[in-house]
């Protein structure tokens, strides 16, 4: 969806970005690249996916300009950088340094393979937190799933993030029936031993080859029950975060579970997503996008005002929920790597 707006007087001020269901939005997810150095089986084929021409990808300055609108005009308090794999972008540290002065909770989701050398520089640039995606602790299974023999590098990256002072360091595990659901307890032990927060995520229909089905989903309730049998847990008070957080009764840390399929959190969703080429999405599963890049590069005398109106129009049309389990559910035309995690 492309929105073309005529120049208007400066809007000024800060106001909440509210959709038609009264949800206030304060969380911006920014994909800075659609490229990745892994080829995860549930994300893309072995040969990869077509990538964007570099001229289509937003520059660091453009990313900062759009983010500034969200923060200064709509009061956003959280920005997360995603991909593809954001650490393959050469100017990642510069991007972080450009966004840090906005004063938000600035975080990064990564596969962790390059964190070993990047973590200290990212911390110095102003990054607050890191989430590392890791779906298996078994070297053979990791290699089979990612098509890369890089488990040692990812584990080193997690430890480097802890050493660099990021807190908390979160490890995201997409749990899939018959693939890695036998590792749930091992991941719980890993989190306790390493001092990181493991977040278990239900498998969602965003795989590149449309293999998703409901039988592949391991319900979040089952995950919690299995861990609780081994290490007793207590649930913490719910927040706007998509994760339901549980604390170990013995003080061994906590876990998070994200029940996107069986326990959707759409009613409290406060996030929007910007793709690497500047398309704004009000929902991960949206079938429409708003072209902010064209507005930014139009040469308009009032691009900030036009960006504000385009953002407001996009959020105003946000759905009540993603409808994953509905009979008439329509998958997004792009995979997770192309949208941004």
Domains of the chain (ranges; CATH) run: 17-339 (3.20.20.70)
Give the per-residue pLDDT at 332: 58
What letters, b where the CB count within 10 A reaches 16 and e where it falls short, cover 13-26? Answer: eeeebebeeebebb
Question: For residue 121, with 0-12 CB atoms within 10 Å meaning exposed, 13-18 middle and 19 or more buried, which class applies?
Answer: middle
The encoded tokens of residue 93 equal 């540290």
Predicted confidence pLDDT, tens digits, the chain (341 residues): 544 443 333 445 689 999 999 999 999 999 999 999 998 877 777 777 788 999 999 999 999 999 999 999 999 999 999 999 999 999 999 999 999 999 999 999 999 999 999 999 999 999 999 999 999 999 999 999 999 999 999 999 999 999 999 999 999 999 999 999 999 999 999 999 999 999 999 987 655 555 657 788 999 999 999 999 999 999 997 766 778 999 999 999 999 999 878 777 677 889 999 999 999 999 887 878 999 999 999 988 789 999 999 999 999 999 887 656 554 555 555 665 667 66
**Angle (CA) 115 31 274, round 5°:** 155
Q: What is the pLDDT of residues 113-161, one digit of tens each?
A: 999 999 999 999 999 999 999 999 999 999 999 999 999 999 999 999 9
Please state the pTM of the whole predicted model: 0.89
Q: How far apart (Å, rounded) are the C-alpha atoms in residues 244 and 237?
A: 8
| pLDDT score for 300 | 83
Q: At what angle do helices 60-74 and 303-316 cross, to 10 degrees?
A: 70
Are the CB atoms for 329 and 323 separated by under 8 Å?
yes
Alpha helix (H) ranges present in 205-332? Answer: 220-230, 292-296, 303-316
Rounded Cα–Cα distance for residues 270 and 124 (Å): 28
Buried b (16+ CB within 10 A) or exposed e, 87-113: bbbeebbebbbbbeebebebbbbbbbb
């Amino acid at each position: 969806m492309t929105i073309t707006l005529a120049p208007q007087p400066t809007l000024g001020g800060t106001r909440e970005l509210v959709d038609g269901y009264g949800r206030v939005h304060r969380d911006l997810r920014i994909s800075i690249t659609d490229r990745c150095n892994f080829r995860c089986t549930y994300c893309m084929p072995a040969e990869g996916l077509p990538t964007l021409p570099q001229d289509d990808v937003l520059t660091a300055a453009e990313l900062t300009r759009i983010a500034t609108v969200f923060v200064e005009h709509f009061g956003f308090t959280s920005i997360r950088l995603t991909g593809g794999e954001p650490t393959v972008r050469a100017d990642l540290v510069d991007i972080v340094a450009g966004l840090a002065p906005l004063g938000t909770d600035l975080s990064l989701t990564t596969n962790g393979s390059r964190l070993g050398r990047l973590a200290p520089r990212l911390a110095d640039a102003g990054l607050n937190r890191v989430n590392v995606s890791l779906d298996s602790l078994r070297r053979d299974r990791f290699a089979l799933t990612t098509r890369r023999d890089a488990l040692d590098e990812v584990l080193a990256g997690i430890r480097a993030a802890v050493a660099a002072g990021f807190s908390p360091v979160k490890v995201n595990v997409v749990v899939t029936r018959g693939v890695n659901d036998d590792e749930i307890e091992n991941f719980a032990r890993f989190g306790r031993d390493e001092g990181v927060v493991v977040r278990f995520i239900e498998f969602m229909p965003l795989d590149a080859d449309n293999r998703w089905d409901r039988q592949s989903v391991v319900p979040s309730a089952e995950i919690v029950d299995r861990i609780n049998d081994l290490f007793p847990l207590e649930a913490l008070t719910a927040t706007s975060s998509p994760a339901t957080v549980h604390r170990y009764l013995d003080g061994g840390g906590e876990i998070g579970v994200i029940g996107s399929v069986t326990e959707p959190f759409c009613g409290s969703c406060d996030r929007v997503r910007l793709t690497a080429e500047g398309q704004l999405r009000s929902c991960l599963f949206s079938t429409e996008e708003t072209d902010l890049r064209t507005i930014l590069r139009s040469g308009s005398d009032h691009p900030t005002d036009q960006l504000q109106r385009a953002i407001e129009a996009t959020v105003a049309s946000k759905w009540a929920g993603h409808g994953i389990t509905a009979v008439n559910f329509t998958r997004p035309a792009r995979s997770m790597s192309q949208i941004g995690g």
